[in-house]
Amino acid sequence: MKLCTIFIIVWFTFGFSLTMFAQKVERVEPLCWWTGMRTELQLMLYGQNLKDAGVKVLQPGMTVKTVHNAESPNYLFVDMAVEKAGNYTIEITQGHKKTKVNYEIHNRRPGSESRVGLTLADVIYLIMPDRFANGDTSNDIVKGSTQILDRNGLESRHGGDIQGIIDHLDYMADLGVTALWSTPLLEDNQFYHQYAISDYYRIDPHFGTNELYCEMVAEAHRKGLKIVQDIVPNHCGSGHWWMKDLPFTDWVNHFDTFTQSNYALQAYSDTHASKVDRMLCGHGWFVESLPDMNLSNPYTLKYLTQMAVWWIEYANLDALRVDTYFYMGYEGAQWTKSIRNEYPNMEFVGEVWGNDPGIISYWLGDRPKHDGFASHLPKAMDFPLERSLVMGLSNDNEAWGGSTKAIYNTIAQDFLYEDAMNSLVVFADNHDIDRIYNMLGKDIRKVKMAMSFIITTRGLPQIYYGTELLFADDPRGGAHKCRMDFPGGWEGDTINLFKPEYRNAQQQEMFDHVRKLLHFRKSTPVVYNGKLMHYVPKNNIYTYFRYNDSECVMVLLNGASQSQTIGWNQFEERLQGMKAGYEILSGQQITKGEKIEIESNSSLVIYFKTTK
């Protein structure tokens, strides 16, 4: 597809001088649009003194419906009717001053609206692009940027970029993941992590260009990888260009003095909560550098909706990961519903950071909850299960909430969800918490157990980059300690963990464990679409099955500090008709009824098929 371009052409009539009547439109967003969209196009024009200007399109095929002034005189919001693809000239007139803006409408990709997004067959690989790989050193230093390049700094830029991602797509495909989630790649003129967006329509030049991003998506698709874009509709950065001249005073949420969110996620689902607590949760700023977008302003909501749709359509994305989803408040449901209206089959995931399944379930699905609210969010990160997984594998003291009983207890609350199997993304660690290797005492046995569980339990797995190689937190600590460089991603690195010859024995052992599980999952659909049955742990062994009418996968997690022998009788309900199988991690043949031993802090994954 031809890339979107905008050319601003200023013209003059009646002999007026440049200095007296020059008029400039600095920005037109969205940058382009498509035919056949359910989302109606509303252009945001930004330039000097646009208030009350006339707007028309000079060619047939796109027409102006309504022009809206903003509170700032430097904005116009223009509703457009789109009939056919083409290059159009938009004329903005104020008195004798006329400005022409070229705008492109493209034909939509066939089947674009039917894209499916994330399914249970997928496994997501999460990376932080600045810390993953540097494939283009020419963008390490960007002219005009105040951000320094320092690989030794925990909070500075390290130089990873989109080309670095492209260069290592084969590594991900070989590992066996099927979807790539990169933390944001849009322009952030304040931080390396990119969660303080300063331009919603521009890839950060430290990473590359919009065009290179599209190339990355296309190349990933060729290698069988979906692309999940991390999107941030809840807040922008304080360095965003519009913060010096907001379209409306309530474009972002304002208070008399700086007011931070109370982070009280439960205030929305709590039947006894006060209105002020709900308001502070959703309208307070996340931190001082992240102004909170006000989605109750219809123009803000429309802008953020179009922005998400634009990136999906422009880059041919497969899904979104929505940052700090619940901080959008009740208004976020309309944003979500609008995205799903455009892409009815596209499944995407929201970050709802709560440690109680009841809270997570409140923010999921189309079913109205006790107060009539429905968020329409298709999937959410399963933070409660992550906490239970760490607690359950860290120690075997059930009396203190440990042992694999903690995992069982969380899964047992799946009745709170509309559809736990299809709506939850399961994970052991991510970019905001400690590395699982550290949380489990740097015990490779326990990390392998965690990965066996994540890849075979209900839901859609997400793996944080480097977990497959036992990445550990930076000993200097702090919020950035889990975001280390991937050794070998930079020219001159003495160790290249993308290649097996540089890995130590434990790193290769961990890699092989994860890779074997992922490829087994990919080739054995019952692992991800089979029903789930689990058993109350005995002696700290948690056992569960993924099954259908003809086959099953039996998973055992021994969280105890000693080896144990497995008894078969208790599982006959699930193993009836099954006789022989094999343990996929070791390749050992298993016959039902024969003595089988599971080592301490280890897992078994056994595949059975019905005997005909």
pLDDT digits (tens, 9 = 90+) for 513-522: 999 999 999 9
Q: Is the Cβ–Cβ distance between 541 and 554 less than 8 Å?
A: no
In this predicted structure, what is the pLDDT of residue 279? 92
Q: For 300-350, how does the pLDDT look when each residue is reduced to its tens digit (9 = 90+)?
A: 999 999 999 999 999 999 999 999 999 999 999 999 999 999 999 999 999
In this predicted structure, what is the pLDDT of residue 96? 86
Among all chains, which residue has been given the structure tokens 């104020």? 94
| Spatial distance between the Cα atoms of 4 and 15, rounded to a whole number of angstroms | 33
Boundary residue ending a domain (58, 91, 109): 109
Mean pLDDT of 124-138: 98
| Residues marked as catalytic | 323, 351
- Is the pTM here over 0.85, yes or no? yes
Q: For 166-199, how does the pLDDT look when each residue is reduced to its tens digit (9 = 90+)?
A: 999 999 999 999 999 999 999 999 999 999 999 9
* E strand spans, 138-206: 179-182, 186-187, 199-203
Does 397 fall in a domain? no
Q: Is the Cβ–Cβ distance between 62 and 81 less than 8 Å?
A: yes
Give yes or no for residue 290 having a pLDDT over 80.
yes
- pLDDT bin (cut points 50, 70, 90) of residue 398 is confident
Q: Which of 304, 318, 326, 183 is nearest to 242 (CA)?
A: 304
In this predicted structure, what is the pLDDT of residue 19? 32
Provide CB contacts within 8 A for 256, sequence distance 6+: none
Does 283 fall in a domain? no
Does 560 fall in a domain? yes
Any idea what DSSP says for residue 131?
Answer: G
Does 238 fall in a domain? no
In this predicted structure, what is the pLDDT of residue 334? 97
Give yes or no for residue 558 having a pLDDT over 60.
yes
- Supply the range of the domain harboring residue 26: 7-109
Boundary residue ending a domain (88, 109, 130): 109
Give yes or no for residue 66 having a pLDDT over 60.
yes
Give yes or no for residue 17 having a pLDDT over 80.
no
Mean pLDDT of 418-445: 98
CATH number of the domain residue 17 falls in: 2.60.40.10
In this predicted structure, what is the pLDDT of residue 18? 32
Which token pair is 57? 């399109």
Q: How many helices (H) and strands (E) does the chain have?
A: 17, 27
| Spatial distance between the Cα atoms of 289 and 189, rounded to a whole number of angstroms | 11
Does 331 fall in a domain? no
In this predicted structure, what is the pLDDT of residue 7? 40
Give yes or no for residue 1 having a pLDDT over 70.
no
CA 292 to chain centre: 19
In this predicted structure, what is the pLDDT of residue 23? 63
Q: Which of 18-27, 259-268, 323-332, 361-370 has the lowest mean pLDDT?
A: 18-27
Q: For 545-556, how does the pLDDT look when each residue is reduced to its tens digit (9 = 90+)?
A: 999 999 999 999
Give yes or no for residue 214 having a pLDDT over 80.
yes
Does 534 fall in a domain? yes
In this predicted structure, what is the pLDDT of residue 10? 38
In this predicted structure, what is the pLDDT of residue 8? 37
In this predicted structure, what is the pLDDT of residue 395? 86
Amino acid at site 271: T
Give the number of other Cβ atoms within 10 Å of residue 138's Cβ.
8
- pLDDT bin (cut points 50, 70, 90) of residue 3 is low
Instruction: Say what percent of the chain tops pLDDT 90.
Output: 91
Tell me the average pLDDT of the chain: 94
Give yes or no for residue 9 having a pLDDT over 50.
no
Does 590 fall in a domain? yes
Does 340 fall in a domain? no
CATH number of the domain residue 580 falls in: 2.60.40.1180
Mean pLDDT of 376-383: 97
Give yes or no for residue 528 having a pLDDT over 50.
yes
Which token pair is 461? 């797995």
- pLDDT bin (cut points 50, 70, 90) of residue 400 is low
In this predicted structure, what is the pLDDT of residue 396? 80
How many domains, in total, are found in the chain?
2
Instruction: Say what percent of the chain tops pLDDT 70.
Output: 95
In this predicted structure, what is the pLDDT of residue 12? 31
| Spatial distance between the Cα atoms of 293 and 332, rounded to a whole number of angstroms | 11
Boundary residue ending a domain (79, 109, 139): 109
